[in-house]
Structure 1
Amino acid sequence: MPVTYFRIVWPDQTEATCYSPSTVVESHFEAGADYALEDFLARARAALGAASERVRQRYGYACSSAMDQLAQIEATAERYATQPDATVKFLGFGR
């Protein structure tokens, strides 16, 4: 399972690099796309949950790093929850 990193830009233009233990995240996001905050969170939950599940299937335990990354994404997103039309720019993937 190749580790995949993805880069995003939060609504305040802060860039972040995020971690996934699997390339499965590539099926949940499109490079260059803008996502409404809630849509981005739903996609991140699905993507990182699927990535953690792939680790579980292969090694017998969930990926705590994927869940830690999701927790960090959710905590950061809280800062923008009250902003109408808050969007997250998805820059792309890397390895």
Structure 2
Amino acid sequence: MPEMYFDVRWPDDTTQRCYSPSTVVEEYFTAGDTYELADFLERSRTALGIAGERVREKFGFSCTGASGQLEQIEETVRHRAFPADSKVTVEALLDADGIPR
């Protein structure tokens, strides 16, 4: 599967590199775009859910990378307690070698 990464800038100006086992995230995020926090979370849940399902269909087992990444994203939001009207920026979409797509 063609894995990829997406770099996120959180409302507190910290960044996080996120992993996806599939390029499906390109259908949900655009490099440089900013998303309302709730929209970002929903897009992450959908994209990483689809990515994990693609792994299951191809290899017959669940992808812990996709589910683990979603847990990290949700944990970041919970622990930092960002206001509901916060915005998240997807700074880059990167291939498995870290090269911008």
Bin of the TM-score, shorter chain as denominator length: over 0.9
Superposition TM-score, scaled by structure 2 size: 0.89
CA contact (8 A) 1:80 1:86 kept: no
Q: How does 1:3-82 map to 2 (within 5 A)?
A: 3-78=3-78, 79-81=80-82
Q: Structure 1 65/80 Cα, relative in aligned 2: closer, same or farther at 3 Å?
A: same
Query: Percent identity between the aligned chains?
Result: 50
Q: For residue 84 of structure 1, report the CA deviation from its aligned partner.
A: 4.3
Which aligned segments of 4 or more residues in structure 1 are displaced greater than 3 angstroms? none
1:33-71 Cα deviation digits (max 9, x unpaired): 110111000000000000000000100011011100000
Q: Under a length normalisation based on structure 1, what TM-score does the superposition of the two structures give?
A: 0.94
Letter in 1 for 2:30: E
Question: Residue 85 of structure 1 aligns to which amino acid in structure 2?
Answer: D
Q: Is the 8 Å Cα contact of residues 34 and 90 (structure 1) preserved in structure 2?
A: yes
Q: Which ranges of structure 1 fall in alignment gaps of 5 or more residues?
A: none
- Where in structure 2 are there 5+ consecutive unaligned residues? 96-101
